[in-house]
């Protein structure tokens, strides 16, 4: 998992971004991307791939 934080108090900007790989039960897996304001749950979007190498090509 990779997590990035962005803070700029002069612009009231406090954001986070994460990306993680999660294996599926019956093969393949999902690349989960999350983003939002620090302190909130934020949003997430899964993208499904047959293997980890296919997902890495999209990053």
Rounded to whole angstroms, how far apart are CA atoms 48 and 26? 12
Domain boundary assignment for the chain = 2-58
The confidence score (pLDDT) of residue 46 equals 95
Q: How many residues does the chain have?
A: 59
- The pTM is what? 0.80
The confidence score (pLDDT) of residue 45 equals 96
3-50 pLDDT, tens digit per residue, is 999 999 899 999 999 999 999 888 899 999 999 999 999 999 999 999
Is the per-residue pLDDT at 58 higher than 90?
Answer: no
The confidence score (pLDDT) of residue 7 equals 95
Is the per-residue pLDDT at 59 higher than 90?
Answer: no
Rounded to whole angstroms, how far apart are CA atoms 59 and 56? 5
């Amino acid at each position: 998992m990779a997590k990035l934080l962005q803070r700029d108090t002069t612009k009231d900007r406090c954001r986070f971004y994460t990306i993680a790989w999660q294996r599926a039960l019956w093969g393949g897996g999902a690349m989960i991307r999350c983003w939002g304001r620090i302190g909130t749950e934020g949003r997430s979007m899964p993208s499904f791939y047959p293997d980890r190498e296919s997902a890495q090509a999209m990053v």
